[in-house]
Every structure is written in structure tokens, then in C-alpha cells.
Amino acid sequence: MRIAELSRRSDVPVPTIKYYLREGLLPPGELTSRNQASYGEQHLRRLRLIRALIDLAHVPVAGVKVVLDALDSDSMSLHDQLGQVHRAVTPRPQLTANDADRVAAEAQVRKLVDDRGWLVEPDAPAIATLIETVAVLRSLDQARLVEHLDAYAEAVERFTELEVAAVVTRTDPHQIAESVVIGTILGETLIAALRLLAQENVSARRLGGPTT
């Protein structure tokens, strides 16, 4: 198919497709002559994935490129692919808490990782974000929200188990990688939405509900 049809079927404007091609998010179509290329179903799939990452998961374009490069690499282990993706979706956080709170937060987070026996790199970006978040909650006098970090961690492990269970039903490495990556990124959007609904429910039941 040519670019016009790709645009129509994906609902992405032609100039935007060209932009994604320029940025290397979308592989070039097969050139049939100097100024004519043909695109296949995989381009359509890729374009849908790009839009989902940008529109739904709010991953910046540069991050999408990193994610897709990881997905396309077949010299990288799945663990390393996942690491790339994690780095692409967790920018190093601005330091906004004060130092004393951060020191306490770091101790709490390190202890959590240790108690759980989690095998994670000590300088993973998610660790930095977690420390900063805990530190900020302390700075804002909300330490009580963070007293039962371990219980949160336990609830979070449940997701991961569910996801792993869903993913290991596939056998092709490429398909597994794709599921892991999509699950990692869109899973967050999904969980965030579910969480808001659960909150709204509790709020409605305990706090008077709508029009009360």
C-alpha cells in the first residue's frame, strides 16, 4: 500500500507519518522506484503501536524510538530489552525534596528491596524515582502514606505475576518481547485507570457519593 492508504487506515496524517519516518520510528517502505514506496501490514501495526505509546501512555517521541529500537534488536537479551524500555519511560527525577528526607527515604527503599529480596540494579532509574517520591511524601508531611510500603510492594507483585502468566503463553521470542514491552507500558496506563475507578468507588461509598 502507498502512504495515502497507510494514512487512511491508521488515521494518522501523511505529514505525521513522514515525520515518524524521519525520526526513525517507522522503518522506510520498500522503494519501488525513486519516489515510490510500498508499505505493508507491519507498518500499519507499528504505526498503531506508536500512536498507543504516544497518545495513551504519553511516552515522548524520543522514548518511543528507544523502545522500538529495543524491540527490534535481536542481539539484546530480553532482560536488556526490558532495561532499555524502563529507562525510556522513567526519566531521572528532578530532585525536589530536602536532603534529610531523601536520606531517610533511601534507607527505607533500600530496606524494602532487601527485605523483598528483589534482584534489581542499585542505580535503576525506578529506584531513584521511588526514593524521590518517598522523600517528597515525607517533605509534605505525608509519611503515613508511605509507612506500609511493603504492603504496596506485595500488591504490586501480584500484577507482575499476572502479567508473567499472560506472557509465557507465547513461545516465539519476538512475540514474548512485544508482549512484555506493551504490557509494561500500556499496563501502567491500564492500572492507573483501574486505580482511579477503585478510588471513585470508595469515595462514593464512604464520602457521600455523587449529588449527596
Q: Residues interacting with DNA, by CB under 7 A?
A: 2-5, 13-16, 18-19, 21-22, 28-29, 31-39, 54, 60-62
The single residue listed with the C-alpha cell 492508504 is 5
Residue 29, all three cell numbers: 517502505
Nearer to a copy of itself, 31 or 140 (CB): 140
- Name which of 60 and 173 has its Cβ closer to DNA: 60
- Specify which residues 31 forms β-bridges with: 37
Contacts 24+ apart (CB under 8 A), 34-39: 36/2, 37/2, 37/3, 38/1, 38/2, 39/1, 39/2, 39/3, 39/5, 39/6
**CA angle in degrees (0–180, nearest 5) for 41-46-49:** 130
Interhelix angle for 61-72 vs 173-206, to 10°? 140
Residue 118 interacting partner from a copy of itself, DNA, none (CB closer than 5 to 8 Å by kind): a copy of itself
User: In terms of CB distance, is 74 or 147 closer to a copy of itself?
Assistant: 147
Closest contact distance (angstroms) between CB of 180 and DNA is 23
Q: Of DNA, a copy of itself, none, which one does residue 73 interact with (CB within 5 to 8 Å by kind)?
A: none
Nearer to a copy of itself (CB atom), residue 34 or residue 205: 205
Residue 91 or 173: the one with the smaller Cβ distance to DNA is 91
Nearest to 91 by CA among 125, 120, 134, 55: 125
Select the binding partner of residue 28 from DNA, a copy of itself, none (C-beta < 5 to 8 A, by kind).
Answer: DNA
Residue 103 binding result from DNA, a copy of itself, none, given CB thresholds of 5 to 8 Å by partner type: none
Residue 93 contact partner, candidates DNA, a copy of itself, none, CB within 5 to 8 A by sort of partner: a copy of itself
How many CA atoms lie less than 13 Å away from 86 in the CB half-sphere?
A: 15
